[in-house]
Amino acid sequence: MSTTIYDGFRLAEGTDLAAFKQAVRDAIDPLRDQEDLKLVAIETAKYIDTRWLSGETIPAGAATTAYAQWAEAQAKMSVYDYDHDLNRFELSIGTDPGTGRIMVIVRAENHVLKDAFEDLDGVEEYGYWDNSDSYPEGVTRADWKVREAAWDRMLPGLGKISATMDTWVLRDSVEVRDELRDVEAILPHMPEASDRARGAGMDAYGDYLFREQGIEVMRAVNHVVFGRGVSIRPVIDTVASYLPPLTAELLTEGSGEAAIDPGYKDAVTAACAALYEQDKSELARKD
């Protein structure tokens, strides 16, 4: 057998599968709601900040519009796209014909959901991979061979998982529950101004290095993204200081005729220039 099953698990002997599925739903459902609230909040903040930083006003119903745009984008995506259904939670479930133990493969990108599953009673980490000699803590080489045999029986000849395992899905739609889209519900989950400004701050400094200082584009990107110089926090903080507070009034009624302070671009450029003075010796050095 040659495979990698990083998110493989085994259930305790004698597990009642129907009861176990209900226990999974009871544990993961409320967590999925919380993660969906965070997602809606982030998408709402992103929509508002993108308009605000480009000098546009915020229209009434911003939260509703932001969600609609996100849902439309999700509907157009392939299930294989990286940012499709980020809070999905699915299980492939089958019975090892050799031992009768229930085997599970978790399909989830959100570690909050995945960790909650692993913490459930009767759930044992039981992954297997043959691309390294690194075993989970407490697992011996002999244990590893037993795991290999179990997964070889569960997935003979590395055939389709669907041929020997059933699929269990927490939610049958990527859509967020209606009641979770309420402004008052998402407000407590809004990201901090510094988190909202991080992407714009990084982009601003990278663009400044390339356009104003003539730094080769990939060198500028690597310098900013991988933190090879001084922290870009001063630029991020400058951007953050110009962002509007995310209030219920803004999310529902909009900003009216108010838009970003016209001094924003000059302030960000000045922050970039000051940071460059600290970074220029590093940027001038040849690797």
pLDDT at position 1, please?
A: 52
The closest alpha carbon to 108, from 206, 32, 2, 204, belongs to: 32
What pLDDT sits at residue 67? 97
Binned at pLDDT 50, 70 and 90, residue 285 comes out as confident
**In this structure, are strands 128-129 and 4-5 parallel, antiparallel, or unpaired?**
antiparallel
List of long-range contacts for 281-286, beta carbons under 8 Å, 24+ apart:
282/223, 282/228, 282/229, 282/230, 283/209, 283/213, 283/215, 283/219, 283/223, 283/229
pLDDT in tens, 5-15: 999 999 999 99
Confidence of residue 157 (pLDDT cuts 50, 70, 90): confident
Contact 48, 62 (CB under 8 A): yes
Give the pLDDT confidence score for residue 286 in this predicted structure. Answer: 66
Tell me the mean pLDDT in the region 36-45. Answer: 97
Please write the tens of the pLDDT for every residue from 55-93.
Answer: 999 999 999 999 999 999 999 999 999 999 999 999 999
Is residue 239 within 8 A of residue 268, CB to CB? The reply is yes
pLDDT at residue 235 above 90? yes
∠ CA 83-88-89, nearest 5°, is: 145
The tens digit of pLDDT for each residue in 104-156 reads: 999 999 999 999 999 999 999 999 998 777 888 899 999 999 999 999 999 99
Q: What is the pLDDT, as a whole number, of residue 287?
A: 59
Q: Quick one: pLDDT band at residue 229, thresholds 50, 70, 90?
A: confident
Averaged pLDDT for residues 246-262: 97
What's the confidence (pLDDT) of residue 2?
A: 54
Calpha distance 127→142 (Å, rounded): 14
pTM over 0.85, yes/no: yes
Indicate whether 158 pLDDT > 70. Answer: no
Domain limits of the chain? 4-169, 192-284
Q: What's the pLDDT at 225?
A: 92
